[in-house]
Structure 1
Amino acid sequence: METNILLESGTNEVEILRFKVAGETYAINVVKVSELLHIDNIAKVPNADVAVPGVSLIRGEVITVIDMLQVLEGRKNADIAKAMTLVCEFNQLKVAFAIEEVLGISRITWADIQKPNDITNTSLVIGNINYKDEIVMLLDFEKIVMDISPQSGINLERVENVAFKDRTKYKVVSADDSPMIRDVIQKTLSKAGFGNIRFFNDGLETYNYIMDLYNEYGPDFKNHIDLLITDIEMPQLDGHTLTRRLKEHSVLQDLPVVIFSSLITDELRHKGESVGADAQMSKPQIDQLVKIVDELLEG
């Protein structure tokens, strides 16, 4: 699928692909979708999750197929081979999601995406979009995959190998709209000895907090924050735009920023570089987070 992957970073814009499942309209960030196709070959996998009808050979690669009707409605798609399929790549993994109908691609801003009233660890909706008087639900595809196959995402066993030392003097801010990821970051940094971590669940709240520090303390804001860890996909203000605003500020540009996202790939790394991120890492590399933070804080 040809998409506008050259969409300028740091403008708070996003392209979403809208699609239907069981009459409801959902969305995914276009940058995660590499191809749209109908799959005509599925091999069943023994003892697979009920939402996994099997695997398919797509352009020479064996890719797991996930039935979104089963995920969202709890019922099996009786003719999965006729379903439209989104071939996606994130968290260094390729997965095919069987849907029903593609509606189109729309360019919106992250400010158009409202956080659900009740974001819980079990929710698959990370944002609601009012698109032409219709509610479009932006889905958490990473959580869908991790719920089916926990080992495919962040490997928590790696966190156990994080070495502890006293890092309580450092003040770290983390921005991520996923409660699960915030919990993982909390556990990882706490195990490493960080004791002063502040969390926000969207980029705008994070930016306002940092600006408040600057407005109150000026250049001495550094006494109250040492480093920012940010996701990319967040309602209101995305991580690229957050980073760009900080790096274009005459004083706040000195704040080290680590982009920690499922969208960090060789093809998309240039987006973080263009907004001035000090480091970028994919979420499965959670065991490397402390190493990168140490390098930025200690030189």
Structure 2
Amino acid sequence: MSNVNQTEILLESGTNELEIMEFTIDGELFGINVAKVREIMKYSPVKLMQNAHPVIEGIFKPRDTVITVIDLAQYLGLPPSQDISHDIFIIANFNELNFAFHVHGVVGINRISWRKIQKPDKIIYGGNEGVATGIAEFRDHLITILDFEKIIAEICPETGIQLEDIDDLGPRFRSDRKILIAEDSMLLSKMIVECLHRAGYINTIKTDNGQEAWDYLCEAKESGDPIDTHVNLVVTDIEMPQMDGHRLTKLIKEDPTLKVLPVVLFSSLINEEMRIKGEQLGADEQITKPEIANLVSIIDRLTDNTPSEYAEL
């Protein structure tokens, strides 16, 4: 059993780098952001669960916590391990829930710049709904960075963003506030936009990563118009190719013109260490996915969105 010490691996704020844990399935190389990993463990027998999703291998209880085990090889359509006794469980935390991803081996941890991670080809990796969130080039090999949020959302839909949560906020009013969204997961990006539109925020600008969001902000600034004619608030994920959300926040808050913009970090990575990091960079709010109703309430407050200004939806 090996614990991953978060305080040792967390990088200096806003450097646009991440640590990737490389692992193998059927000899193919994949990666996961170390910030998501709680620990790695040797394979352990699991208790089967009736009527569970086909890729849920079962559950096990390493200490006092029951953890769901996901057979990543089966999910990816790859062959099972030839010798399960050497397999590994990667224990990861998503949306404040722990999951064990059953993999065939762990290679190690490497530091890499987000600029070295490219968006995968849509044809090869399943189009907009593909399971790969990025392809990292490190030394002489390529690492497929999996979209673990999408995997969890498919297996356990109830843990994901729920459009119905917006209805619990009560009557909503159409707003002309312009919300810039930086989110690399096509599935989550679509759901966030749908939820914001349902909440009355119909003026949304969607970008696929921090670099695209930053390019949009730079163009808005160079136009000479007041910045609030282009954007009133930024919602950003943390883990994205090209430029991550921490780097984007740092650039915004260090810019004399853009620093007035509220920035909300909306990510499954938010934990105690990440929260400290976000505060150091000047993030106005940080919220864990999938709390979409809370996100809307925060946007209401940060943009001073008052119902009296607009027509009811």
TM over 0.5: yes
CA contact (8 A) 1:204 1:237 kept: yes
| Alpha-carbon displacement from aligned partner over 1:133-154 (angstroms, at most 9, x marks no partner) | 2111000111111111111222
CA distance in 1, matches of 2:50, 2:224: 60
Task: Encode CA deviations 1:82-130: one digit per residue, 9 max, x unaligned.
Answer: 4211001121110000101111100011001000121734311000011
1:251 partner letter: T
Amino acid at match of 2:113: T
CA contact (8 A) 2:163 2:194 kept: no
Letter in 2 for 1:234: M
2:9 maps to 1:2: no
TM-score by length of 1: 0.94
Out of 226, 243, 248, the position equivalent to 2:249 is 243
Please tell me whether residue 145 in structure 1 is matched to residue 147 in structure 2: no
CA distance in 1 between counterparts of 2:151 and 2:192 reads 19
What's the counterpart of residue 298 of structure 1?
A: 304
Counterpart-to-counterpart distance in 1, 2:214 and 2:170: 31
Q: CA deviation at 1:59?
A: 2.1
The amino acid across from 2:150 in the alignment is K
Q: Secondary structure at the match of 1:104?
A: strand
Distance 2:85 2:190 in 1: 38
Out of 272, 285, 289, the position equivalent to 2:278 is 272
Residue type of the alignment partner of 1:2 = V
Q: Are 1:17 and 1:103, in contact at CA under 8 Å, matched by a contact in 2?
A: yes
**Secondary structure of the corresponding residue to residue 51 of structure 2:** coil
Residue 258 of structure 1 contacts residue 277 of structure 1 at CA under 8 Å; is this kept in 2?
A: yes
**Range 35-44 or range 78-87, more displaced:** 78-87
1:22 alignment partner in structure 2 = 26
* 2:67 matched residue in structure 1: 63
Separation (CA, whole Å) in 2 of partners of 1:47 and 1:2: 33
How does 1:157-168 map onto structure 2 within 5 Å?
Answer: 157-168=164-175
Match of 1:97 in 2: 101
Indicate which of 173, 176, 183 corresponds to 2:180.
173
Give yes or no for contact 1:186–1:197 (8 Å, CA) kept in 2. Answer: yes
In 1, the alpha carbon distance for the partners of 2:273 and 2:94 equals 11
Which residue of structure 1 aligns with residue 48 of structure 2? 44
> How many angstroms does 1:296 deviate by?
0.2
Are the equivalent residues in 2 in contact too, given 1:39–1:56 (CA < 8 A)? no
Q: Which ranges of structure 1 fall in alignment gaps of 5 or more residues?
A: none
Aligned partners of 1:41 and 1:81 also within 8 Å = no
Task: Work out whether residues 262 and 284 of structure 2, in 8 Å CA contact, stay in contact via their aligned partners in 1.
Answer: yes
Q: Per-residue CA shift, 1:153-185, capped at 9, x if unaligned?
A: 223331333445334321111110111111111
Identity %: 40
Deviations 1:256-296 (A, max 9, x none): 10111111123421111111000111112111111000110
**Which residue of the partner structure matches residue 201 of structure 2?**
194
TM normalised by structure 2 equals: 0.90
CA distance in 2, matches of 1:227, 1:142: 24
Tell me which residue corresponds to 1:221. 227
Q: Partner amino acid for 1:284?
A: P
Structure 1 vs Structure 2 CA RMSD = 1.8
2:134 is paired with a residue of what secondary structure? strand
The 1:133–1:63 alpha-carbon spacing in structure 2 relative to 1, beyond 3 Å, is same
Q: Which residue does the alignment assign to 1:252?
A: 258
